[in-house]
Structures are given as structure tokens and as C-alpha cells.
Chain A
Amino acid sequence: MSWITPIPTARCHGADEPTRTVVSNLPYEDQRPRNQPNRRYAGNAVKTNKYTLWSFLPINLCEQFRRLANIYFVGIAALNFIPEVNAFQPQVALIPICVILTLTAIKDAWEDFRRYQSDRELNGTPCLVYSRSQHGFVERRWKDIQVGDFVQVLANDIIPADILLLHASDPNGVCHMETANLDGETNLKQRRVVSSFCAVKSPFDPLSFNATVICEKPNNNLNHFKGFLEKDQIKIGFGIESLLLRGCTVRNTAAASGIVVYAGHDTKSMLNNNRPRYKRSRVESKMNKEVLCCVFLLFCMCLIGAVGDVPIYFIPDSDGNETPSVVAGVYRFLTMIILLQVIIPISLYLSIELVKMGQVFFITQDIDLYDKEKDMRMQCRALNITEDLGQIQYVFSDKTGTLTENKMVFRRCTIMGTEYPHTENGESGKWNGVELAWKPSVSARRHTGMLWCIKHGLLLSHSLEVIPDQNLLWSVKEVERRGVAGHWGLQGATHLEFFLALAICNTVVVSTETAQRQRVRDPVQSTLYDIPTSSSSVVSEDEVQGTPCKGHTRRRQTWTASSLAGPKEVHYEAQSPDEAALVHAAKAYGFTLLERTPSHVSVRLPSGTTLTYEVLDVLTFDSVRSRMSIIVRHPHTKEIILYTKGADSGIMERLQNSFEDRSQMKSESRVIANKTQKHLDMYANDGLRTLCFTRKVVSEKNYYDWLVLRQGAMAAIDRKDELVRKTAADMETNLTLLGATGIEDRLQENVPETIQALREAGIQVCVLTGDKLETAVNIAYSCKLLDQQDLVFTFNTENTVQIQLSFPQLLHSVHGCRGIHCNPVFSSTCPATAQALVGLVIDGRTLGLLLDSDLQEGFVQLCTHCRAILCCRTTPLQKSRVVTLLRSKLGVMTLAIGDGANDVNMIQAADVGVGISGQEGMQAVMASDFAISRFKHLKKLLLVHGHWCYNRLANMIIYFFYKNVAYVNLLFWYQFFCGFSGTAMIDYWFMIFFNLFFTSAPPIMFGIMDREVSAAVLLQLPELYRRGQHEGGYRRSTFWIAIADAFYQSLVCFFVPYWTYKGSDIDIFTLGTPMNTASLFTIIFHLAIEIKSWTVVHWVIMVGSVVVYFVVTLAFCAMCVSCNPPSDPYWTMQEQMSDPMFYLVCILTTVVALLPRLRFPLADRYISQFLSKPSEMSCLPRLGELVALVSLGETYFQNTFVFRRFKLLTK
């Protein structure tokens, strides 16, 4: 508010000082750059591209060679240049690595070019910078801005750098900022001019600015900033509320000016600009081990080649001498590595990337995961863990906004110990819930304040629907009638004070018709919303909400007109839905919040008079205090009043416990507190969210004493948060309880079904919530997380010893007889039957003990035996620690799902983080790997897409290994007949083509599109998901079976042609042609057997691959007389194709090679038929359905079924 005497702080100057000092550039405008005071700070030009035209090649190559695979490949190619060991023509051997490097380089270059373009566009954006010579703001480019410049941003312009706000066109010094570009939140953020500049004359004159700005070093915390202005030994603090962030848009404010403190890469938005997350999926890390197996295999094969020695005649080395046998062996070993290198599937990594891209495409395209209401698709933010979705074992879920709508409806309240049930309200709420389904889609791209209201149209209509409780309404009117506004007697005033607290004690911003956010670029909207009268406004809303609620709207319209009697419809923009619900509730009783500025807040009373309070301070909400307060001065009595609202845990202990001499008051307040607590418990049991409201009158002296401390805390740089929190807590003592509210947060649609399905899929669902225990348990029952028949253990103690003692007993009872005993420590519900399952409910305090002490083991063990785990009153940190603990101790695949900033830790700790784009902004989504808009989408995401992606990828990888081994072994067998010399009977070009053209597309398509089981069946039978959890698709055994199969097939593909042509006059490449062709057919038909459903795409690619093989081979054989001398496959294909033997050999080879593959599925079928005898059906739940589906033709089930059968039998 004013300059305060400085607190001497030790500041060190120098390069590593912890702060940044900024002074105005204007005095130095004409001087040379080296005299500029702020020259050391980064300019505003951004450069996100990594390469320049010249540095591209070296840098890009360097980056590519960080991949081990590429080094391996290049090493092999380099080996080829050594004449003693080369297997192929050295130049040709370079082709594969060059192709891979080039493709990657092109991809990188394209991405970088896109970045360069966007940078250039951004850097060239015009902006207004103050110039001393021209005495005004002149147009410059973004890149010209320096730290210390004065910049003016006009309405709807994007802020070019992080600017300390010194002036705003608004007389109150307020500027609104939309941060959608930064965090996706659509509500406006209020920014305030640094306090000393609040009242300075308009227009702003930067020349007179002579203070020094001292602030913290650039960091990426978007919600935190601190520093002070220093002028003549006087300091004034400022915080994040005075900083305009680069990338945000100024709204509702004609112009805002300030000094640039961070520019370019130092700005908070740039520091937050992270690259996409890279997570390694479990299948991939497992696959890497299999790659090592391949290396081992390669080593063995090369060793055989090295020791295999045949007396050779006529072939001395180039000097005409014999090479010593040991050296010759080493040479042979290296040659064999070159020849057989393909056994390590280098192209696999590229293919996996392509497959995942395809999978992500299909997931995001799924129309079932599309949310009409928000116009949002499923987003995949992490591109490389799609298959992890198919292996989830534990789901950790937030409650509010994830399981529930987070659309708050005011339900009940208690004032001074009297409960007002609002019975009618409850019914209307239900009726409204039905209406929800009718809401037409509204584009979420329109980030306007109006939109908030529309998006939360339900909330709006609900809140308007708050039908006042008749008794309460009557008593409010009665009290008000008794006194003039503001001069009520203390006794009856609590009702009024309660509603005033509801209306005032929040951070809701009011935007009326005139104060709408203008959007110049969107004329449709402005015409739609800038309609002056309330009736048309309602009609326009009606249009937005669609026709089904016409009658309903009309009713509302009349009600609005009569009750409000105001010409303007007000719109509230709240950061939390709770606050919006409360403000709307207050409005329903006639206490209408009319305006809120940093300095004052206006409320219209039911009588029509308007009270304008001066706002002295706002003690904002934080999760440690779990309450917020506002300090206002009453316009008439001039009393300083503190209104506090918060969770009962944060309030009840801070109520005044003595009314000094008035002992009856003391007892009365205690009675009220007790009654209120009772009501709160009741609300919580009903699953309502509770908030307590208190009031306190502060004496002038106390206030000013406190204010000094407060401002000291605000100006602090070190430990500022802690100090601020402490001062806030100092003020919030001796509160007088006014009452409490119960707000309902309805369950999202299909939540019980989803949880049920996840559970059937073998997924453990844990709910971690910050809510009260009773509320959480209630929600847990209603969403079928807990069943009435479950045995529920509740941990609600802080006594470590007690827990320690009870653990073994507990574990025993869980293990043994499913807990018939009820332990005195825990309030436990005895099970109705012995079959009942165990649920675990843990309070935050107990959870802290369990996580910290040596109770961890027992806790983890207990968790594995529980059907449901519910943790209440958890902090964000505890949430993530629970996830980390279970993930590391049990080695399970975890998924965390949440919607709010408090879930970010948990989302990041889990293997797979899912964000719900809900009412609480986008932080959760930003931190997540996958973003969905409803909890129910999780079902399809996991059960269908997860299952598909996992199976597809697992099959694809296995197939890839198989394919390479099968093909490379052909060459290996030939070594036994060419003296282990490294001769290939297939031309090297064909080998490259084989991997590049002939057999690459089918597995990739297979990995993207194969569908073992239809989506409908997967949704119907969640049990099928278990296959992925136990790595049914991708196990070591599967890998080795595939390798064994590859060995068998390659033997067949080699020896059938060998025996056919043995002893004849066939030449090398003519022998290689049928081998190559048979191998191609085998590999393609092998895949054809693996493919479970054939679509047009499958046919085109499979048939296309074979056609391409013949076309390319024929063309190559016809055109290349000596393409890569001395190898000459010229005309071999033609020669072979004119020989009937060729076809006979190919057919025989393919059939013999595939016979085992063909037999296996058949055997499975008969085994499954054999096993599915009715007598054994009782063991397996839902076996009947399985059998029914088998008859529908889902061959897959038999495999699954056999798998499960065997598991059962082996147990």
C-alpha cells in the first residue's frame, strides 16, 4: 500500500547473486551496448531450433550416434571396408545405415524447420516499446525487446515477455490476463499494478521510473514470483500478482504497461516449455533383453563360423600367402558378424515408433472417447507407452473431479446450529441431472468468460435453481426487516452475516454485460453476448443450451426478473467450482455479489441496498491451512471484519474458546459448535463437501499491528511463503462460527460400471482423496468401490504401536477366514458372509505413519489382499508416495488418474498418468501421458485400446525377431557349404530390399491394425484384460518359441532347395532365388496365420508385398547386368521362373515350413473343446459366456481359455 521502511537485507553483488537486478533502459537508450546496464540478460528473441543450415549435419549426426544401434550399424559397415573381412561390397553395405540416418535426419530437419518458422513468426510479432527519443510507445518487434524496456500491451494482444505491471488503464490498477496458452485454464487471472504505482497519475510516464527492480532469478514456477522495487532505500514488495507472463493474452483491459524483467528464454513460459515426455515402456525394456539374446545368438553363430574350417584350394589371399589359421579365424568371425548382422533387428526400433504412431492415431480417433460437451478428444501426450495401457494392475484415482463431476451444487446449510435441509432443492438437482444428457456441444476453443458460464451451464442453471429453503428465507427476511442495512442487532444478524460471508469470502470475479471480455476477432460471440437486457441474455443462453430446456428457462427467467429486479445479469468467474456454487447460493437468497476489485467488493442485499466493503486483505487459500480469509471494512460501522471459510479441521480448532466474562455465551458457542459439527458429520455421511464459515471483528490496533508483520512477510524473498502463511494463521484465531454448508458433488456417469469393469479386469482400484473420511467412504460405496458386504478396515489413528500390534492379526484375518474377528482398534464392519472381500480405509494421518515407518511392508502386504483401498485427507505428496511405494515394492504396473493440480505428483509418479480435463484447469492434463475428459473413458481406454495396443505390439515385436532370425539363418546354413567364407547366395541388394520393401509393411500394419477380439467383446468381458497383466502376449517363452520356429523354418527353406539342387550344375544366385522366394512366402504366410482379422488394408498390404517382391526382383534381375560387381544376379529370377521346378520347390518349402504353425491353433481348438466339459465349468466364473462366445467364432477365446484353464490346473 505504501513505501515501508526497509528491512536491511544482506545482498551480495556478483555473478552468482541469487537475485536479478533490473533498471530502466531509458537513460541509456543512445549509448553503446556495452554500457547498457541490463546487457547481461537474455534478449527477447527466442530460438528453439537446434540446428542452423551449416551445423545441421554434424550436430544431427552426433545426436543420432548417441543411439547404440546406429553405432553398431556403422561399425558393421566400417568393418566391410577391411578387405580381409568384408562380406559385401563396402559401398553397398553402407546403404542400410545411410537410409536410416537419412530418414531420421529428414524427420529432424523438418521438425526443426517448423520450429524455426514459428520462432521467426514469433520474433517478428509487433509490439509497443517506449522510446525516449520519441516520447511515446513505438512499434517494435518482439525480438528487439530487452530486459529493462518499457512495454505496453493492448487488449487482446499477446504479452511479449515477462513484464512487471506498473500501469493499467483500469483505474483500480487491475489487468486481466488469460493464461490458456500457458496452462490451458480458461478463467481470467487478475493482475495488479505494483502497489506504489496503483494511484499514480495517468498516463504512465516511464521516464519518471527511477527505481531498481530486484527479483528472483528466472525459474519455471508459473505461480510464484517475488521481488521488490528499491528506490531511495525504500523497498516495496511484489509477487506473482504483478507479473504479466509471456504468451498470455491481456483481456478486459485497454492497455497495460510495465518493465520487462525476464525476456526470451528466461521467461516463465519458455522455461516451462518442456519437450514431450519420454517414458520407456515395460515391453520395450523387456525387448532390449531379447535383443541381447539375439546378440548372444549372433555371437554363437559367428563362433561356429570362426572355428569351422575347410581346406580350400586355389584361394590364397591377395598376397598369395596363406593366412595363419588363428588370424583367419578372427577374420572369419568378423565376416560372419557382417553377414549375419541383421539378426539384431535394427529396423525394429524404427518400426516400433511407426507402430506406436499408428496406435496413437487410432486411440485419438476413437469417437467413444470424444467428449461432446467439451469438444475434446482423447489426447495422447506420451507417444511411446501405448502398450502399457494393456498391463495396468493398479489404478490410483483421485475422487473430486475424477470420480465425481466437480460440478458443485449447494445442497444444505446450517446456521448457528440450525439445519436447513433445502429439501426441494435436492429434487430439482436430480431433475437437472437428467437434463445434462441433452446438452449440445459447445466448442471449448472459445476461451471466453462467457464460455465459462456456458461450459458450466449446468452449474449456472443449478445455482439459479437453488430454491431457497422457506424457513431460512423467511428468517432472513425477518431479520432484515428489523434493521436498516448494516445495523442489525448482533443476535439475528448471523443469518445475514452467513450469507454475506458466502458472497464475499471468495475470489470470484464478476463480469457483467458491460464488463464482458471483448473478443475483437470473434464477432459472432460478441453479438451473442453483448445483449443488454436480462431477458435476451437468458434467451441467448437458451440458444446455447439448446431447445430441450425451454420451459425450464422460462421459469428461470421470470424468477430472475422478480427476485433480482436488476437490469443486468451477472456472471461469475470462479477458480474453484465450490466458490461459484456458494456465490450462487447467496444470490438465491438475495445476496448478490455485484462487483469485486482488489480494493472493494459490492454486495446487493435482498432489500435492494448495495453494500460496498473496502477490502483490506485477502489471505488466499493454501492446502496447509485449508482455509481462506478476507479482511474487509464495513461501509457503515467501519468495523474491520475477517471472514474465514474452510474445512472443519482447519476451522474448528481456531474458534474462540472464551468470550471473556460472558460465560453463557461461551457455553452457547460451544453448543453451536457441537451442533454444527454434528450437522457436518451428517453432511459428510451423505457424501456432501462441507465448508465452515466464520466471522471475526478485528480491532483497529490489532489489525495495524498485524499489518506490519504481514507486509514484512510479503516483501520477504527468503521463506516468503512460510512467513505469509504464518501471518495468515496469526490473524485467523478466535473465530466466531457462523455456519456451514454442504455442497454436493455428483458422481460422474457410469463410474460404478467402470470401476466394476476394471475390477473384473483384475485391476486394483485405489482412491486417494483429500476429502473427509466420511465423505470419501460414502462416495466409495456409491461408486461400488466398496460393497455393503465388504469387510472394511478403517485406520484412523496416530498411534504407531497400536498399528504395529494389530498388523499381524489383521493380516492373519485377511489371509485366513476372511476376517470374522473384529479388531477393537479398527472400526470394522463384520462381513455378512465369509466370501466377503476386504476394503481398506486409511486416514491421512495414519497414512503418513504407514509410509514413513517400518510399517511399509505390512501395509503393502495388506494392500495386496484388499479389494479396495481408500485413502482420505491425503496431501498431494502422500498420494504420490503411495503410488511410488506400491509400484516399487510390488513391481506392478500403476496408473494414476486425476484432474487437479493436487494430482500432478501422483500422475507423474505412476507408470501411466492419466489426466482428466476437468473443472480445475489443465495442470493434471499437462503432467499426464494420456488425457481424457470423463472417468468412464478409462474403461475403453484400458480394456479395449490397452489390450489391443499391448497385443499388437507384443505380437509385432515377436514377429520381428522371428522374421530376422528366419531370414538370416538361411545365410548361416549356407556357410556350411561354402567353407564358412561368408558368401551369400542371395544378392546383397535383395537382402536390403527384403527388409526394406518386401517384409516391412506387413508387420507394421499388423502392429497397428490387427484385432484379435472386437471392442464389444472386450468391453463385455473385462477378464480378457488379465492376459496383458500377466504378460500373456509377451513372455520369454513366446520369444524362444518364435526363435525356435525361425530356426526350423530357415532349415526348411534352406534344405528343401538344397536337396533338390544338390549335385546339379546350379550356380550361386540361381540356388539363392528359390530360397529367397520360399523364405518370403513363409514369412508372409506366417504373418497371415498370426493375423486374426483381415480387412481390406490387410489384403492390400499382404498381397502387395508379394507382388512387389516379384516385380522388383524381376526388374532388378533384368536391368542390372553388373549393378554391384562382382555379384551378378542378372537374369537369375527369369531363368528360375521359367522352370517348373522353381514353383514346386517353393510350394513344398512353404508348406513344410508352416506345418507346425498351422497345427498349433488346431491343437488348441481341440484341447479347449476337450477341456470345456460341463462338469468342470463351475470352477470358472462366466465360463458359460465364454463358451457362448466361442460359438460366435472368436477363436481367440479358446487360446485365452486354454491359457486360463492351464493356469487353473497347474495351481
Chain B
Amino acid sequence: MKAGPSRTNRPDNTAFTQQRLPAWQPILSAGIVIPGFTLIGLAFIGVGVALFVTSQKITDLEIDYTGVAATSPCFKCTSFAAENCMCQMEFTLTTLFEGPVFFYYGLTSYYQNFRTYGVSKDGYQLSGDTYYFNNPQDSCAPYQYDSNNNPIVPCGSIANSMFSDTFQLYQVVNGMKKQVPLDGKGIAWWTDYNIKYSNPALVNGSFANAFSGTVKPVNWSKPVYELDPTDQANNGFLNQNFLVWMRQAALPKFQKLYGRIAEGDYAQGLPAGNYTLLINYSYPVISFGGTKKVVLSNVSWMGGKNQFLGIAYLVIGSLCIVMAMVMLIIYAKYKFTDDDEDM
């Protein structure tokens, strides 16, 4: 024999190569499964109860103002002829609507998630790149240039179809209308406001000049730099309502935040009483069978009102408990006959 370590073909005798690695084989025996199911069931029921209770505590109020019915105050605005139509919806709160109250507008049958709609925007333009002001991307078509071949800013379907109704909420106190302040600041995502979207630099000290050579979207009544006449900072691409609109809703029935009621007399919420909602009605939805509504809601740690999750947890938790019971019965029944040989 050769002295020393001879090179052979002998495979390594390691646990890995010989497939002998120590292995854990999960065995779902009754002793594990029944307590396991019970525990999961109990935990789920606990979570379910918490969710359900929380959800119950949340109050929300929906006011449909589409105006399909002739009796609706907004019916008059549904005809195409109506320009700058204002309508007024009234509602009464019997108890305090606890704050902070969130003011949403909601749309149904509205496919903001439609693919060709969703891609119809120009991210570079919206990030303030002035090159794209004059040369909007093709994805914006047909809202890329207007009929005079002027570039549209902001271009694309999403921007063009921006929700244009405006709302004012009044509390009727002693017959007098007292305006409830709707705080429209900070309703958009922080990252949208601070990182993704930005306005172009001022030109000659003027914000409007930065947009010179461009036209407003076809459906808009005023250019993007004049969206909010009350607050100069809330204009351009950083307009909060614009940002909220630009974040496309995932489902055809959605609501979007319009403002918060958290100031002054209404910091604790809306007190009981009569309220008037003044709507500047301009956004057409009837043509595609959609509806419009306003939603007032307070929120908890779990967001808005949602019964589903709590109920689902309760159901699944109960199911687990039931299954554990059934198994326990089977186990008890067959334990003494079969487990003698089995165990």
C-alpha cells in the first residue's frame, strides 16, 4: 500500500453528503394539535373581539350628494348646463361626533386603477423637471398636448380628471351658519409631498412664470399654480388635494381624504346639532353610473370603520376551537382502542 494519505474516490462520509443531517420531523400528534388549535382559536377570538369592539366605537356618516333622485338638493346640478352650480345638503347629529373627524369625499364605479388611466402621467414633470413641461412624455397621451399643440401641465388622464368639487361645512347655531374649519394640510403622504413631487423653481420671482408656455389640463377650470387661492404655498404640484388625487385608489369604490376637523371649537369633534354641507358641484359622475358622497368619520388605531376583520377573526377562532373539540372527541373515543398498539 502506498504510504501516507492516498487519494481515493471514496466519498466523504459526512452527515451532509450521506443525507444524515439531524432532522426534525414534525409529527402532528393529538397531543400537539389539540392544544395548538385551542391556543390559536383563543388568540384569534381575543384579537377578533378587540377589533370588533374598536370598529364598533368608530362612527361614520355618509352623505350621498350625487343627486340622481329628483328630490335631492343636488339634482339641479346634474344637468350639463349647470355651471358653477352650488347645492346644499343638510344633516343632524344627535350626539357628539368624536374627533378628530376626518372629512372624505367618496366615489363609486370609478376606475382609478384602470391600467391605461394609471400610466397616464409624467413622473418627471411632477417632480418639477421643467424639460418635461415643454415635452410631456408619450404616456400622457391624449392629454399630452392640447389642440394648439401646447404642452399640458400636469399632463395625463389622472391629472385631467382631478376631482373638482369643493366643500364647505357649516354648523347651524341658532339659525346662523357657523363655518366648520376643514384643515386640508397634511392630508397627503409625507413622501409624496416632500420627496416625489416638487414644484419648479420660481422664474423671475413668479411662480406662474415657471409654467409659462404650458396650458392647464383640458377639464380644469384654473391652472395648477392657482389651485388654492387662499394659500400660496398650497399650489402647483404640492397642492394637497392634487397629491391625494394623484395617489390612485386601489378599488373602484373609494374615498379620499379632503380635510380634517381638528381646530378651534371642533377639536373635540362635531357637537350635536344641525349641519349644512355646501357643495360646489362640478364633477360629473352620472354619465358612467357613479355616485359621489361625503364621508365624515373618526379613526382608531385600526383606521376607519371596518367590521370585516373583527368578524373574520372571531369566525376563524371559533372554527379552530370547534375543530379542537372534534379532534378531542375522536381522540378520546379511539385512544383506548388504537393507541395501545399505536403508541
List residues of A whose CB falls within 8 A of some B CB.
87, 310-320, 335, 362, 364-367, 370, 372, 375-377, 440-441, 443-444, 524, 543-544, 546, 977-979, 981-983, 985, 1009, 1011, 1015, 1056, 1058-1068, 1070-1072, 1092-1097, 1121-1122, 1125-1126, 1128, 1130-1131, 1135, 1139-1141, 1144-1145, 1148, 1151-1152, 1155, 1159, 1161-1162, 1165-1166, 1169-1170, 1172-1174, 1187, 1190-1191, 1193-1195
B-side contacts of A1066, CB under 8 Å? 249-251, 254
Does B131 reach chain A (CB closer than 8 Å)?
no
Select one of B118, B191, B250 contacting A1071, CB under 8 A.
B250
A1063 touches which one: B161, B253, B290, B312 (CB < 8 A)?
Answer: B253
For this complex, 15 residue pairs linking A to B, each with C-beta atoms less than 8 Å apart, are: A312-B114, A317-B116, A364-B11, A365-B18, A977-B251, A985-B250, A1059-B308, A1065-B256, A1065-B257, A1141-B303, A1144-B313, A1155-B316, A1172-B341, A1174-B341, A1191-B343
Structural contact, B116 and A981, CB atoms closer than 8 A: yes
**Chain B residues closer than 8 Å to A983, beta-carbon distance:** 113-115, 118
Contacts of B122 in A (CB 8 A): 1126
B268 at the interface (CB under 8 A from A): no
Q: Which residues of B contact A366 (CB under 8 A)?
A: 11, 18
- In whole Å, how far is A1120's beta carbon from the nearest beta carbon of chain B? 11
B12: A residues at CB distance < 8 A: 365
Report whether B316 and A318 are in contact in the complex, using a CB–CB cutoff of 8 Å: no
Do B24 and A1094 have beta carbons less than 8 Å apart?
A: yes
Q: Are B21 and A1095 in contact (CB under 8 A)?
A: yes
Task: Kindly state the separation between the CA atoms of A1135 and B334 in the bound complex, as whole angstroms.
Answer: 51
Query: Interface digits, B117-130 against A, CB 8 Å rule (1 contact, 0 not)?
Result: 11111111001000
Q: A1064-B255, A1064-B304, A1140-B302 are in contact. Are A1162 and B327 (CB under 8 A)?
A: yes
B118 and A1065 contacting across the interface, CB-CB below 8 Å: no
Interface status of B342 (Cβ within 8 A of chain A) = yes
Q: Does B252 contact A (CB under 8 A)?
A: yes
B85-118 contacts to A (CB < 8 Å): 104, 106, 110-111, 113-118
Contact B123 A1122 (CB under 8 A): yes
- In the complex, are the beta carbons of B104 and A1065 less than 8 A apart? yes
In the bound complex, residues from chain A placing their C-beta under 8 Å from that of B319 are 1155
Q: A982-B115, A1067-B247 are in contact. List 9 more A-B contacts (CB 8 A).
A: A312-B117, A314-B117, A315-B111, A365-B11, A367-B18, A370-B11, A440-B1, A1011-B23, A1071-B250
Which residues of B300-340 have CB atoms within 8 Å of chain A's CB atoms? 301-304, 306, 308-309, 312-313, 316, 319, 323, 327, 330, 334, 337-338
State whether A978 touches B142 (Cβ < 8 A). no
**Cβ-defined contact, B196 with A1121, below 8 A:** yes
Task: Pick out which of these stretches binds chain A: B2-10, B207-215, B273-281.
Answer: B2-10
Question: CB-nearest residue of chain A relative to B7?
Answer: A443
Contacts of A1141 in B (CB 8 A): 302-303, 309
| Residues from chain A with Cβ under 8 Å of B123 in the complex | 1122, 1125-1126, 1128
Residues from chain B with a CB closer than 8 A to the CB of A444 are 9
| A315-B114, A979-B111 known; A1065+B308 contact, CB < 8 A | no
Contact of B142 among A311, A319, A1159, A1169 (CB under 8 A): A319
Provide the bound-state CA to CA distance between A894 and B22, in Å: 35
Contact A362-B17, Cβ < 8 Å, known A317-B116, A1063-B255: yes
CB pair B113–A977 under 8 Å, yes or no, is: yes
Residues of A within 8 A of B251 (CB): 977, 1058, 1061-1063, 1066, 1071
Residue B139 interfacial (CB < 8 Å): yes
Query: Is there contact, CB below 8 Å, between B250 and A1162?
Result: no
Interface segment out of the listed B25-33, B75-83, B164-172: B25-33
Q: In the complex, A981→B122 CA distance in Å?
A: 20
Shortest Cβ distance from residue A389 to the other chain B in the assembled complex, whole angstroms: 15
Q: Is B262 an interface residue (CB 8 A)?
A: no
B216 to chain A, nearest CB (A): 16
Q: Contact between A362 and B19 (Cβ–Cβ < 8 Å)?
A: yes
B139 in complex: contacting residue of A1121, A1126, A1151, CB < 8 Å:
A1126
Residues from chain B with a CB closer than 8 A to the CB of A1140 are 301-302
Q: Is B233 interfacial (CB 8 A cutoff)?
A: no
Chain B residue numbers with a CB within 8 Å of A1135 are: 189
Q: Which residues of A contact B39 (CB under 8 A)?
A: none
Check A543 against B111 for contact (C-beta < 8 Å): no
Residues of B within 8 A of A365 (CB): 11-12, 17-18
* B180 interface hit (Cβ, 8 Å): no
Given A544-B1, A1065-B255, is A310 in contact with B309 using a C-beta cutoff of 8 Å?
no
Q: Does B51 contact A (CB under 8 A)?
A: yes
Q: Contacts of B115 on A, CB cut-off 8 Å?
A: 87, 335, 978, 981-983
Is B47 engaged at the interface, CB distance under 8 Å to the other chain? yes
User: Judging by beta carbons under 8 Å apart, are B27 and A1195 in contact?
Assistant: yes
Given A978-B115, A1063-B254, A1190-B342, A1131 and B191 contact (CB-CB distance below 8 Å)? yes
A1130–B119 touching, CB < 8 Å:
no
Interface residue? B13 (CB, 8 A): yes
Closest A residue to B119 using CB positions: A1126
A1095 touches B111 (CB 8 A): no
Quick one: given A978-B114, A1064-B254, A1152-B316, are A1193 and B27 in contact (CB under 8 Å)? Answer: yes
Which chain B residues numbered 194 to 239 have a C-beta less than 8 Å away from chain A? Answer: 195-196
CA–CA, A443 to B10, complex, Å?
10
Give the residues in chain A near B309, CB-CB below 8 Å: 1059-1060, 1141, 1144-1145, 1148
B contact residues around A1067 at 8 Å (CB): 247-250
Interface-centre pick from B124, B191, B313 (highest chain A CB count, 10 A): B191
Chain A residues with Cβ below 8 Å from B1 are 440, 543-544, 546
B141 at the interface (CB under 8 A from A): yes
Contact A315 B343 (CB under 8 A): no
Would you call B338 and A1015 a contact (CB within 8 A)?
no
Assess A313 versus B290: contact at CB under 8 Å? Given A977-B251, A1063-B254.
yes
A1096 to B304, CA, bound (A): 44
Q: Known contacts A1056-B312, A1093-B25, A1170-B334; decide if A312 and B19 are in contact (CB<8 Å).
A: no
Distance from B102 Cβ to chain A, minimum over Cβ atoms (Å): 9
Interface residues of B in 173-205 (CB under 8 A from A): 189, 191, 195-196
* Chain A residues with CB below 8 A from B338, complex form: 1169-1170, 1172-1173
| Residue among B116, B120, B313 having the largest count of chain A Cβ atoms under 10 Å | B116
In the bound assembly, the distance between CA atoms of A977 and B304 in angstroms comes to 21
Q: Which 6 residue pairs spanning A and B have beta carbons closest together?
A: A1071-B250, A1093-B23, A313-B288, A318-B141, A320-B142, A1095-B21
Counting CB contacts under 8 A, is B66 at the interface?
no
Pick from A314, A977, A1064, A1193: contact of B25, CB below 8 A.
A1193
A443 smallest CB distance to B (angstroms): 6
- B247 cross-chain contacts in A, Cβ below 8 A: 1067
Complex CA gap A581/B22 in Å reads: 49
CA distance A1072 to B115 in the complex (A): 15
Cα distance A1170–B115 when bound, in Å?
A: 55
With contact pairs A544-B1, A977-B252, A978-B115 given, residues A1165 and B28 touching in the complex (Cβ less than 8 Å):
yes
- Name B47's contact: one of A375, A377, A1122, A1144 (CB within 8 Å): A1144
CB pair A1126–B308 under 8 Å, yes or no, is no
Task: Tell me the minimal C-beta distance from A903 to chain B in angstroms.
Answer: 24
Chain A residues, CB < 8 A from B342:
1169, 1172, 1187, 1190-1191
B149 in contact (CB, < 8 A): no
Assembled-state Cα–Cα distance A312/B247 (Å): 19
CA distance A981 to B21 in the complex (A): 50
Instruction: Give the complex CA separation of A849 and B48 in angstroms.
Output: 78
Name the one of A367, A978, A1093, A1125 contacting B124, with C-beta atoms under 8 angstroms.
A1125
Q: Which A residues are in CB contact (< 8 Å) with B84?
A: none
In the complex, A992→B223 CA distance in Å?
Answer: 40
What CA separation (Å) do A1187 and B339 show in the bound complex? 11
CB of B287 to closest CB in A, whole Å: 6
C-alpha spacing A1122/B196, complex, angstroms: 8
**Chain B residues near A1152 (CB-CB < 8 A):** 312, 316
Question: Distance (Å) between the CB of B269 and the closest chain A CB?
Answer: 20
* Contact status B10-A313, CB under 8 Å: no
